[in-house]
């Protein structure tokens, strides 16, 4: 018997590519599954030319998808997990987290230089407050400028010479088959990624057991464990400040998890920290590291 599943996604090329990847994995697990993809425009898409600070970044790429879920217009919302606020709307849950792509930030420079080889005064474009803070700390001589638009638009602006280099996520470039554009994958030790960068989230209505059963085969528990630590950090930090943050969890060989974090203050000062512990305590580690980080920046 054919089963129908409605997936909701943003309309960008990357979002549609990610959703098609999810659909392909689900069809492999369920050959009789019929998948319908619905494109839903979000606030972030409709205001793509407006600086993030003016739009208000919290939930700007997910709210309309979540509304469609709550109104039963779709069964699953496919998100880039880094776009999701720490708190979900009542009635919704993260039902499935597939295997993570490369979580690192990517430098794309016009001449292929690495970040240390770029000349003084290089104009670097990014839309991320986190990347801006790290860039200005790492290379204070850079001219860091706002860069909006979808991934294709950002690459075009670089190629047209509007910027000398730009920062994007490795994951998006890899998913679009553009990994060769990456001049350097930036180390997580210096460029702590955004929370959940490189991961996808499949969001559903709470208690929708039939949908959950369909998604279970593509859930990746190791990725989900990393995400639990990172999002616990984010949830605790969002209660204490509204400045750029990053967090990245690594699974160690001795059943331990290590969480690396970054918080910036209003003056651009960066506060980095690392905490390790047992994997089953992933969320507690995230919260403890957040409290420690918030205390350090006071």
Q: Write down the pTM of the prediction.
A: 0.91
Q: Residues 65, 127: one domain?
A: no
Q: Among 41, 35, 34, 33, which residue's Cα sits nearest to residue 9?
A: 41
Q: What is the pLDDT of residue 50?
A: 47
Instruction: At 141, give phi and psi (nearest 5°).
Output: -85, -10
Q: Residues 78, 204: one domain?
A: yes
Confidence check: pLDDT of 270 > 90: yes
Q: What is the mean pLDDT of residues 56-79?
A: 87
Pick from 51-55, 149-153, 247-251, 269-273: least confident: 51-55
Residue of higher predicted confidence among 53 and 194: 194
For residue range 205-231, what is the model confidence (pLDDT) as tens digits? Answer: 999 999 999 999 999 999 999 999 999
Confidence check: pLDDT of 157 > 90: yes
Residue 213 and residue 265: Cα distance in Å, rounded?
43
Q: Residues 76, 205: one domain?
A: yes
Q: What is the pLDDT of residue 52?
A: 47
Residue 77 lies in a domain: yes
Q: Residues 22, 83: one domain?
A: yes
Residue 191 lies in a domain: no
Residue 224 lies in a domain: no
Return the HEC string of 122-174.
CEEEECCHHHHHHHHHHCCCCEEEECCCCHHHHHHHHHCCCCCEEEEEHHHHH
Confidence check: pLDDT of 112 > 50: yes
Residue 266 lies in a domain: yes
Mean of all residue pLDDT scores within the chain? 92
Residue 192 lies in a domain: no
Catalytic residue among 32, 45, 75, 83: 83
Active site residue 83: yes
Q: Residues 71, 154: one domain?
A: no
Residue-range definition of the domain harbouring residue 275: 229-296
Residue 135 and residue 15: Cα distance in Å, rounded?
26
The structural domain count of the chain equals 3
Q: Residues 70, 120: one domain?
A: no
Q: What is the pLDDT of residue 240?
A: 52
Give me the CATH number covering residue 54. Answer: 3.40.190.10
Q: Residues 66, 119: one domain?
A: no
Q: Cβ distance 34 to 26 under 8 Å?
A: no
Q: Residues 27, 166: one domain?
A: no
For residue range 78-87, what is the model confidence (pLDDT) as tens digits? Answer: 999 998 988 8
For residue range 161-180, what is the model confidence (pLDDT) as tens digits? Answer: 999 999 999 999 999 999 99
pLDDT band for 55, please (50, 70, 90 cuts).
very low
Q: What is the pLDDT of residue 100?
A: 98
Rg (CA), the chain: 19
Residue 194 lies in a domain: no
Q: What is the pLDDT of residue 56?
A: 47
Q: What is the mean pLDDT of residues 190-213?
A: 96
Confidence check: pLDDT of 49 > 90: no
Residue 13 lies in a domain: yes
Listed in sequence order, the residues at least 6 apart from 131 whose beta carbon sits closer than 8 Å to its beta carbon are 105, 167, 191
Q: What is the mean pLDDT of residues 91-110?
A: 97
Confidence check: pLDDT of 30 > 50: yes
Confidence check: pLDDT of 239 > 90: no
pLDDT band for 149, please (50, 70, 90 cuts).
confident
Q: What is the pLDDT of residue 131?
A: 96
Q: Residues 40, 160: one domain?
A: no
Q: Residues 139, 85: one domain?
A: no
């Amino acid at each position: 018997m054919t089963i129908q599943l409605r997936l909701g996604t943003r309309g960008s090329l990357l979002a549609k590519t990610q959703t098609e990847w999810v659909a392909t994995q689900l069809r492999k697990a369920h050959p009789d599954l019929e998948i319908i993809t619905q494109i839903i425009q979000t606030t972030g898409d409709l205001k793509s030319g407006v600086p993030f600070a003016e739009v208000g970044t919290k939930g700007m790429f997910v709210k309309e998808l979540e509304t469609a879920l709550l109104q039963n217009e779709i069964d699953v919302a496919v998100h880039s997990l880094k776009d999701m606020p720490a708190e979900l709307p009542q009635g919704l849950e993260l039902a499935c987290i597939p295997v993570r792509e490369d979580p690192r930030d990517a430098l794309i420079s016009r001449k292929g230089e690495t970040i240390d080889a770029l000349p003084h005064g290089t104009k670097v474009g990014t839309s991320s407050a986190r990347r801006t803070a790290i860039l200005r700390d790492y290379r204070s001589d850079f001219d860091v400028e706002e860069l909006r638009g979808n991934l294709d638009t950002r690459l075009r602006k670089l190629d047209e010479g509007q910027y000398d280099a730009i920062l994007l996520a490795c994951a998006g470039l890899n998913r679009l088959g553009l990994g060769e554009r990456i001049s350097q994958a930036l180390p997580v030790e210096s460029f702590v990624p955004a929370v959940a960068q490189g991961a996808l989230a499949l969001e559903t209505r709470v208690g929708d057991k039939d949908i959950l059963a369909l998604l279970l085969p593509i859930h990746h528990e190791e990725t989900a464990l990393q995400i639990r630590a990172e999002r616990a950090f984010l949830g605790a930090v969002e209660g204490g400040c509204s400045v750029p943050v990053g967090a990245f969890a690594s699974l160690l060989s001795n059943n331990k998890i290590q969480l690396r974090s970054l918080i910036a203050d209003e003056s651009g000062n960066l506060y980095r920290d690392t905490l390790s512990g047992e994997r089953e305590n992933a969320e507690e580690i995230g919260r403890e590291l957040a409290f420690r980080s918030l205390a350090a920046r006071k």
